[in-house]
């Protein structure tokens, strides 16, 4: 394969996703409550949002449709969540977050099918993220589903750990010019 003209943006996108997901998921799991939400929202606009969006644009340059769509979309997810939490274009109703999460659940499920042709590490991120979104969607619908949100929070922490592993593998393997952390090629 010909050498790429730009560095692999995947580790950046995965790291931005992992860190922001970890902070919000820790709040959803009731580990730090408000502190986790505040940290996640601070990250959502810049690292989880903008940095991931940029990683997606660089994936377009590399002609990686999967990476381009995943990073650009989840970057937009975090920016959109920040807008929802900061009084976006319209008042938030009782099921607004549930509808928002349901849409992302559907998107994540078909991206999980596409991830079957990436690596085991990336597939693990998408399987865990699908489960996270399913539980968070149920938890956000109506009221009285706090246990579902808490389960979604713990699944989100697992998702973040898997994304951090995939990010670390990308940067460490590239820097060392050999496989230090295996990702299990699938495609």
Find out whether 45 and 34 touch, Cβ atoms under 8 Å: no
Please report which residue ranges of 50-119 form alpha helices under DSSP H: 52-61, 65-85, 96-115
pLDDT number for residue 137: 96
CA atoms within a 13 Å half-sphere pointing along the CA-CB vector of 162: 20
Torsion angle, alpha carbons of 20, 34, 149, 120, to 10: 20
pLDDT number for residue 92: 67
Reply yes or no on whether the pLDDT at 89 is more than 70: no
Reply yes or no on whether the pLDDT at 138 is more than 80: yes
pLDDT range class, residue 187, cuts 50, 70, 90: low
Find out whether 21 and 160 touch, Cβ atoms under 8 Å: yes
Q: How far apart are CA 109 and CA 2, in angstroms?
A: 32
User: Where are the chain's structural domains?
Assistant: 10-176
Tens-digit pLDDT profile for residues 45-76 = 999 999 999 999 999 999 999 999 999 999 99
pLDDT number for residue 36: 84
Residue with tokens 């998921």: 25
């Amino acid at each position: 394969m010909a050498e790429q003209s730009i560095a692999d943006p995947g580790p950046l996108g995965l790291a931005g996703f992992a860190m922001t997901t970890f902070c919000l998921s820790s709040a959803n799991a009731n580990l730090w409550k408000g502190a986790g939400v505040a940290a996640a929202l601070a990250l959502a606009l810049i690292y989880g949002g903008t940095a991931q969006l940029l990683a997606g644009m660089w994936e377009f340059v590399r002609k990686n449709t999967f990476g381009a769509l995943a990073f650009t979309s989840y970057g937009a997810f975090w920016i959109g969540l920040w807008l929802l939490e900061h009084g976006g274009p319209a008042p938030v109703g009782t099921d607004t977050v549930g509808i928002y999460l349901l849409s992302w659940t559907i998107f994540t499920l078909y991206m999980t099918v596409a991830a079957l042709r990436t690596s085991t590490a990336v597939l693990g991120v998408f399987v865990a993220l699908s489960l996270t979104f399913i539980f968070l969607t149920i938890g956000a619908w109506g009221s009285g589903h706090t246990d579902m949100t808490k389960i979604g929070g713990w699944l989100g922490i697992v998702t973040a750990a898997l994304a951090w592993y995939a990010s670390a593998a990308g940067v460490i393997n590239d820097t060392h010019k050999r496989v230090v952390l295996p990702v299990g090629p699938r495609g």
